[in-house]
Amino acid sequence: MTGGAGFIGSHTAVSLVNAGFEPIIVDNFSNSEHKILAGLKQILGRALTHYEADCNDASEMERIFATEQPMGIIHFAASKAVGESVEKPLMYYRNNLNSLMVLLELMPRHNVRSFVFSSSCTVYGQPEQLPVTEATPRLPASSPYGNTKAMGEDIIRDCVASKMPIRAISLRYFNPIGAHPSALIGELPRGVPANLVPYLLQVATKQRASLTVHGNDYSTPDGTAIRDYIHVMDLAEAHVSALQLLGQKDADSFYDIFNIGTGRGASVLDLINTFEEVTGITLPYTLGPRRAGDIEQIYADVIKATEGLNWQTKRSLAEALGDAWRWQQTL
């Protein structure tokens, strides 16, 4: 697992072990912290093998492939801040696309067949119809970050079409939130959080004065933007299902795409109200103007994932926020 010490990667490590896999973590800790490895050790009762390495370093990745002889790759590692990607586009294209190509080049050399790619619902932009299915047209990305996800999908598709011996799945994540119920691992945003839930949690702990709701004049039931919030442990389990599906495939080359969400939209005010109900904390917030680049609403059609991956979400929005809050209180 590249980026295995990150938010989604660390939770997926737990789900992989629970399913009988032996995850190997590769992370350069540019956007994660070593304390997550200690949390994983507490949850699992043992340390996982990990390498502090950059996926863009082809010779180091070659050494790891040769040493570990993995059966598959889950590729989480990527720069992921939308705003930063607008300011530093070349850094994002270099890091996110080159690391992907290094892995794809190494796989046939080491007879590694299975590849799961972290994609994103950002590839849909503001869709004309909801919910979005995997057949919904992709729209031009509003940021270099979003573009690297669309381009990453295309690179994998073209490699499979060229008959490279790779079986791959792209998982289009919606909005992951929450934490492991043990509160030993969770999301660790750097600086000012760009996402709603980490910011909300910092308001709840009085690290920040109040929350700004960006836009209350959207064409939604309460006027605020709608997203599909999925518990990170449900998302983690989708990676296990994807890896299991790839292991069952007989074809030398295979590629598919799945939406990974709950199939339900929740507005910003829904999120705030649910958090207040779960915790008993009143969140101070103000209504502000819309943010440039924000879409009005998006949520997933998850029928294909339910049927094709034999997977479905199990945890509620309230559970996700409760778990996130317990994690926040440990920081």
324 within 8 A of 201, measured Cβ to Cβ: yes
What is the C-alpha to C-alpha distance for residues 235 and 241, in angstroms, rounded to an integer?
10
Question: What is the maximum span of the chain, computed from C-alpha positions, in angstroms?
Answer: 56
What is the C-alpha to C-alpha distance for residues 319 and 178, in angstroms, rounded to an integer?
8
* Percent helix, strand and coil across the chain, each to the nearest 5: 40, 15, 40
Residues with catalytic roles: 145
Give residue 17's Cα distance to chain centre: 19
| Residue among 152, 167, 176 at smallest CA distance from 6 | 176
| Residue among 288, 293, 171, 185 at smallest CA distance from 233 | 185
174 within 8 A of 259, measured Cβ to Cβ: yes
Cβ atoms < 10 Å from Cβ of 135: 8
How many CA atoms are closer than 13 Å to the CA of 74, on its beta-carbon side?
Answer: 30
Per-residue DSSP letter, 133: P
For residue 219, give both structure tokens.
């064409």
Phi, psi of 188 (to 5 degrees): -125, 80
Phi, psi of 130 (to 5 degrees): -125, 150
